[in-house]
Amino acid sequence: MQIVITHASYADANKAALQLVELGAMTNGKVLWRSTIAETIARIHAGIRFFVIHDGEYIAVEIVPATALRDAYLRTGADKMTFDLLRHLPQLPKAQGSLLSW
């Protein structure tokens, strides 16, 4: 299964370095799905492939394994030291009480 990520939620938008909290997809102003980073990592381990679209190309999202100093995290193959596609996605709206996560 292949899923496109279009939006993200961040822990504190006022900090210089944004921390991803959720990923998701929206179309026509409606949230199609949302998933925490831990859920997304688990789904990748289960065989689901996630992508972001950048300059018309599908870029795969991959897991960077945990180390002694850092938990596992997500990145794309196009990320550089100074640019991170996932942290440049538009903001997901806050979850409503009746909205189900994917």
Domain ranges of the chain: 2-88
Would you write out the chain's pLDDT as a tens digit for each of its 102 residues? 789 999 999 887 566 667 889 999 999 999 999 999 999 999 999 999 999 999 999 999 999 999 999 899 999 988 876 678 898 899 998 876 544 455
Distance, in Å, from the CA atom of 50 to the CA atom of 94, rounded to the nearest integer, reads: 22
| SS3 assignment, position 41 | helix
The pTM of the full predicted model, rounded to 2 decimals, is 0.83
